[in-house]
Amino acid sequence: MRAVTGGVTVRSDVPDERPGGGEPSEPEERLRVSQALAAAAKGLDPGGVPEALCRACVALLPVSDASVSISGGAIVQATWCAGDPTAARLAEAQYTLGDGPCRSAVRQATTVLAADLTTAPDSGRRPVFAHEAITLGVRAVFSLPLGVGAAAVGTLDLYRHTPGGLSARDLRIALWTRDAVTFALMELHAGSRAAERAGEEGVASWLEASEAGHGEVYQAVGMVMVQLDLDPEQALDRMRARAFTQGRTVTEVARDVLARRLRFASERDVGSEGTRRRDAGGDGREDDR
């Protein structure tokens, strides 16, 4: 079997189906998937393995593309890799909204399957996210938590342009790939820590990558905390609300905060002259009321 996606060719000597017809047994299927994932990651730097596994997963499943997101705590999420612009925008939309299958999968440490975002119950569970996804041409999203046990450190997110769920066979393949991505990230983390102990420079750990991916948001959250006297999650919620009402991403709002083009005003400041100031040469965005 040979499948091509994102410039990556995945091959396996174990056929998709037996010569006499019918699906292969689970051990045969697992061998085929293991061979495909091993071939995809062969010879790569550790930092590139998760992305390669992500691409291989798309080659193995009836999905349009995939992404891997990393969670570095309650208020930060970073996209490790995304197969195409739609996957990247879908991940950013969930981060901006603070909701979506990816967020639920991390919070609950369980697989979240939204097979048809155009109809209930999937459209009703997350109506705002469903609207954003449909606008991007996405009709189904599947999020699988990365991690061991109840400790989710991120998600493998799959999407498709047409509605429809994953078969039991497809879900098994997705879960096996999820396990491989989890192992790759944990090995990357362990390797980085070992290098640090030895005083050497190693590849960034998954947590460091997460922090780097949304460092601007972290900094902006700190500024909004001071401006509004809020805790981190409340400050991030205010930024998300501003991003949503303006049809932007939370990262774009964070850049405006850092550039002093946007200042959030507390209620006690409303009406004071200071809240009406605009940055010299600014773009006309007013303080938050």
Interatomic CA distance for residues 261 and 282, integer angstroms: 6
Task: For Cα atoms 40, 42, 45, give the angle at the middle one, nearest 5 degrees.
Answer: 105
Q: Lowest mean pLDDT: which of 4-13, 21-30, 178-187, 224-233?
A: 4-13
pLDDT greater than 50 at residue 12: no
**pLDDT number for residue 7:** 36
pLDDT-based confidence at residue 72 (cuts at 50, 70, 90): low
pLDDT greater than 60 at residue 277: no
Q: Lowest mean pLDDT: which of 68-82, 95-109, 207-221, 272-286?
A: 272-286
Under 8 Å between Cβ of 5 and 59 = yes
Domain boundaries, the chain: 2-194, 214-276
**pLDDT number for residue 165:** 94
What CATH code is assigned to 214-276?
A: 1.10.10
Instruction: Copy the structure tokens of residue 232.
Output: 């981190």
**pLDDT number for residue 196:** 44
Under 8 Å between Cβ of 252 and 234 = no
Burial class (CB in 10 A: 0-12, 13-18, 19+), 155: buried
* pTM tops 0.75: no
Q: Which of 226, 271, 278 is closest to 256 using CA atoms?
A: 278
Q: What mean pLDDT is reported for the chain? A: 77
pLDDT tens digits, residue range 159-205? 999 999 999 999 999 999 988 888 887 776 555 444 444 333 333 34
pLDDT greater than 70 at residue 21: no
Under 8 Å between Cβ of 145 and 168 = no
Burial class (CB in 10 A: 0-12, 13-18, 19+), 19: exposed
**pLDDT number for residue 89:** 92
Non-local (6+) Cβ contacts of 93 within 8 A are 100, 129, 132, 133, 136, 249
User: Is CATH 3.30.450.40 the classification given to domain 2-194?
Assistant: yes
